[in-house]
Amino acid sequence: MERKGIIDAGNWIVDNIKYIDRWPGEGNLCNILGQEMATGGGPTNVLFDIAAMNCGIPLYAAGRIGKDALGTFLLDEIRKRNIDVSNIILTDTPTSYTDVMSGNGKRSFFCCRGSNSEFDCSDVENIDFPAKWFYLGYLLLLDNLDSDDPEYGTRGARMLDMMKKKGYKTIVDFVSEAPEKFRKVVKAALPYIDALVINEVEAGNTFELATCNADGTANVAEIKKAAQKFLESGVKEYVIIHYRDGAYGLRKNGEEYEMASYPADKIVGTNGAGDAFCAGVLYALHEEKSLEEMLKYGSASAIFNLRSASASGGAASLSEINAFLQTQN
């Protein structure tokens, strides 16, 4: 059977976005200039970005959402994009939400984990979609999957192995956490990951490498060391590390590609930019494109994301992304 499609599992979140004029110090005040409610979370953002491409890839959602107003809003948004919701479990625990403070091109997050904290291996046991790729995100923000497992190290690693045994390729994303916890959860998952998409801070935290310079720019030499270490630690095929000024990819066979970020003509917000990058990479992975094309599609997808404050409000069609890439060659 020829597989086609992408399953996204993990965090399904509603973002309550507040646009602020500045970030206040403790005890001080700032002004909220506007607000909106939008969808968020790795699976949500990545699937919505790929759905906007109109590229014909079947899309499937897996996870937990509360039986409440936020859950209804989230489910409606998923269904609008013709994404299969048959493996979304409705729970009495409230839908996860995040208060996002956005201003001057920066953002901070205040998260209520809610129903996402209950997501576990048993929730995907019966998945039998004819898809090609299984995305899991965000590890380190999924309480059950981040918990200890006597055989695999973590429940997340167990879930990834379970899905690989079903015939899916696996791709994983993380959130930044305390380095000690980060290393434990990441390293347990690595042997069950086919493609890892991660930022430079997370890469550095995993192997205690100085992937960031003192001025905040990326230390590409250390990023390349981290990519090699990820492969040596178990990642099966691809490691792609993105950072503000560019991206670097390394394949198990030694192929590598490095590129600078495309110039942004407009930056409204950076919320979801990393997920947009991942969406472009995942589209290219599904279509079996080259490593160079993976990074280019990821970088182009991220550029469109920057034009909106919400996590997937700037999502572009495949024709728009291809037209943009033509101008960059």
Position 311 confidence tier, pLDDT thresholds 50, 70, 90: low
Percent of the chain with pLDDT over 90: 78
Assess contact for 84 and 128: CB atoms under 8 A. Answer: no
pLDDT exceeds 90 at position 107: no
Assess contact for 129 and 5: CB atoms under 8 A. Answer: yes
For residue 171, what pLDDT is reported?
Answer: 98
- Whole-angstrom Cα distance, residue 317 to residue 329? 19
The token pair that represents 207 in the structure block: 């192997």
pLDDT exceeds 70 at position 271: no
For residue 315, what pLDDT is reported?
Answer: 84
Segment 273-294 mean pLDDT: 96
The token pair that represents 194 in the structure block: 């086919």
Assess contact for 116 and 96: CB atoms under 8 A. Answer: yes
For residue 269, what pLDDT is reported?
Answer: 62
Position 305 confidence tier, pLDDT thresholds 50, 70, 90: confident
Angle at 64 between CA 60 and CA 68, to 5 degrees: 115
For residue 179, what pLDDT is reported?
Answer: 67
- Whole-angstrom Cα distance, residue 230 to residue 236? 9
Q: Read off the pLDDT of residues 75-94 as tens digits, 9 standing for 90 and up.
A: 999 999 999 999 999 999 99
- Whole-angstrom Cα distance, residue 137 to residue 151? 21
Position 310 confidence tier, pLDDT thresholds 50, 70, 90: low
Collect all residues with Cβ–Cβ distance below 8 Å to 33 and sequence separation of at least 6. 19, 20, 21, 103
Report the DSSP pairing between strands 246-251 and 238-243. Answer: antiparallel
Position 278 confidence tier, pLDDT thresholds 50, 70, 90: very high
For residue 263, what pLDDT is reported?
Answer: 85
Q: What three-state secondary structure class fits 96?
A: strand
**46/306: higher pLDDT:** 46
**2/156: higher pLDDT:** 156
For residue 178, what pLDDT is reported?
Answer: 66
For residue 169, what pLDDT is reported?
Answer: 98
Angle at 190 between CA 285 and CA 236, to 5 degrees: 45
Segment 242-268 mean pLDDT: 92
Percent of the chain with pLDDT over 70: 96
Assess contact for 238 and 194: CB atoms under 8 A. Answer: yes
- Whole-angstrom Cα distance, residue 92 to residue 35? 27
Segment 248-264 mean pLDDT: 95
Length of the chain: 329
pLDDT exceeds 90 at position 155: yes
Lowest mean pLDDT among 121-125, 288-292, 293-297, 310-314: 310-314
All domains of the chain in start order, with CATH: 6-328 (3.40.1190.20)
Assess contact for 304 and 45: CB atoms under 8 A. Answer: no
pLDDT exceeds 70 at position 231: yes
**64/177: higher pLDDT:** 64
Give Cα separations from 38 to 125, 194, 280, 314 (angstroms): 30, 30, 21, 12
pLDDT exceeds 80 at position 307: no
For residue 177, what pLDDT is reported?
Answer: 67
Segment 109-119 mean pLDDT: 93
The token pair that represents 185 in the structure block: 């959860």
**What integer best gives the mean pLDDT of the chain?**
93
